[in-house]
Amino acid sequence: MKEITKDVVVIGGGSAGMAAAGEVVGKGHSVVLLEREEILGGILNQCIHNGFGLHRFKEELTGPEYAERYARIIEESQVEYYTGTTVSEIDSREDGKTVFAFSSEHGMLRINCRAVVLAMGCRERNRGNIGTPGTRPAGVYTAGLAQRLVNMEGLMPGSKCVIVGSGDIGLIMARRMSWAGAEVKGVVEIQPYPAGLTRNIVQCLNDFDIPLHLSHVVSKIYGKDRVEGVDITPLKNGMEVTEETFHVECDTLLLSVGLVPENEIARNTGIKINPETNGPLVDSNLMTSVEGIFACGNVLHVHDLVDYVSEESQRCGEFVSTYLKAGDREQQYSMVSGSNLKYVIPNRFSSGRDNHFYMRSLIVRNHAELVFSLDGNEVKRKKIRHIQPSEMISFTLKKEELADFNLDEQSRLEVSLIG
């Protein structure tokens, strides 16, 4: 057993954890970073395609390159990091916290600290979550697992595949499988619009003449031992048009049907969960309902760009530092999402400083407006050229913009999208 005492424990060594840990250590606090895989970088390590870092580094990097830039910062900093180490429990008391973790190298680690940052990322929804009828053969993979097998192990999960869901990982995998010589027979999306970025539709599907079946579902899986084929059925007004069902032969089914924050530890620690995001509810400092425990990155809400994960996590690191320096806690007010928005993060705001919000749209529109109103009075209005659910909206409400308003405990800031 190993006992450690530090100011902060960061759980997760992917893009979120590395950015948060780097920031906290830069502000002069002691940090321990725990990562369950053998190397830092998290899921970026298997995302060998390019397109990362355009906002952050103003250049187009691959996932491993992006990860390596941050990993280097961590390796060269005072951050004490442990790989191959899995957290099992957080014991949260008023006078501090203890994080318990296990690794084969160190056995049980018992880490006493004042603040914890949750940065465990997300996991993929799977077949059970979408309830696809049919048999249960081998050959049904989540796109992320297939990506891991192909890109890191060099193994082909099959030679003829159908992809369910047009999320980015699924699209990226369509190209990857094609580039490895497998045949991608189609992508099936339940919504009338694609879930992934347009760039990926063009470069990952259109380039290979892979059909995209919008408003369709895989209605049945065939095959006893291994997948042998699927039925694909169109939807009209949300109902399956069974007579238009067609059959596609394949040996592999890849599922790219959404991501969910990995909130197990949060739940077990008694942290309140936001039903819209499945991540923790957080205040304007990205602190969860349990004092001293913060959250950032995909564990908080699923981002589409890693650049935003880094940005949010770095900000989280600043908040942790401020918290440790033990100033009085600033007054917080309620922040809610209004029409046409699935959610807004964080769920509180502060009046004395800039507030940064991330939002996810429920609608697809060109030329929409983002409207902030405080207790019914418009605070700010901003035009957006294009919105769609797959592209997160990032927006900073400046300190000055709230300066003229009187706030009391009941005050509520609402953000809406007007199409």
Partner 1 sequence: MSNLFDVAVIGAGVTGAAIARKLSSYNLKTVLLEKECDVSFGVSKANSGIIHGGFHHDSSMLKSRLEARGNLMYDQLKEELHFPFKRCGILVAAFSTDEMRTVEKLYNNGLENKSIGIELCNHERMLNLEPKLNTDVTGGLFAPGGGIIEPYRFVFSLVESARKNGVELLTEFKVTGSRSNDESYTVESADGRQIEARWIVNAAGLYCDEISRIFDAEEYEIKPRKGEEFLLDRNASAHTDKVIFPAPSKHSKGMLVIPTAEGTTMVGPTAQMVDNKESSSTSKENFQTIFASARRLIPQVSERDIITSFTGSRPTLAGDDFYIEPSKRIPRFIHVAGIQSPGLTAAPAIAEYVKDLLKTEGLQLAEKADYDPCIEKVPRFRNLSKEELAELVEENPAYGELVCRCENVTEAEIVAAIRKDHITLDGIKFYTRAMMGRCQGGFCTHKIMKIICRETGLSMDEITKRGGGSWLVHKEVGDYPLRSRNLDGERQQP
Partner 2 sequence: MTKEMICISCPIGCHIEVTRNQDEITVRGNKCSRGEIYGKEELLSPKRVVTATCPADSILMARIPVKTTRPIGKELINSLLEDLYKTRVQAPVQCGAVIMENYAGTGVDVVVTKSLSS
Q: Which residues bind partner 1 (CB under 8 A)?
A: 1, 36, 84, 86, 88-89, 100, 102-108, 123-124, 126-129, 131, 133-139, 142, 144-145, 148-150, 152-159, 179-182, 219-220, 224-226, 264, 267
d(CA 239, CA 236): 5
Closer Cβ to partner 2, 151 or 321, answer by number? 151
Q: What does the DSSP assignment read for 212-262?
A: EEETEEEEEEE-SSB--EEEEEEEETTEE-GGG-EEEE-SEEEE---EEE-
Report the 10 Å Cβ neighbour count for 371.
Answer: 17
Tell me which of 8, 74, 143, 201 binds partner 2, using CB under 8 A: 201
Q: What H or E segment, with its residue span, contains residue 1?
A: none
| Stretch of 47-55, 135-143, 292-300, 332-340 contacting partner 2, by CB under 8 A | 47-55
Least distance CB 177 / partner 2 (angstroms): 12
Mutual angle of helices 15-26 and 63-76, in 10-degree steps = 30
Closer Cβ to partner 2, 29 or 49, answer by number? 49
Least distance CB 252 / partner 1 (angstroms): 10
Closer Cβ to partner 2, 147 or 355, answer by number? 147
CB crowding 382-415: b at 16 or more within 10 Å, else e: eebeebbbbbbbbbebeeeebeeeebeeebebbb
d(CA 276, CA 256): 19
Tokens 């592999």 belong to residue: 252
| Stretch of 25-33, 152-160, 265-273, 346-354 contacting partner 2, by CB under 8 A | 152-160
Closer Cβ to partner 2, 72 or 247, answer by number? 72
Of partner 2, partner 1, none, which one does residue 42 interact with (CB within 5 to 8 Å by kind)? none
Residues of this chain that bind partner 2 (CB under 8 A): 45, 48-50, 60-62, 64-65, 68, 151-154, 179-180, 197-199, 201-203, 206-207, 366, 385-386, 388, 391
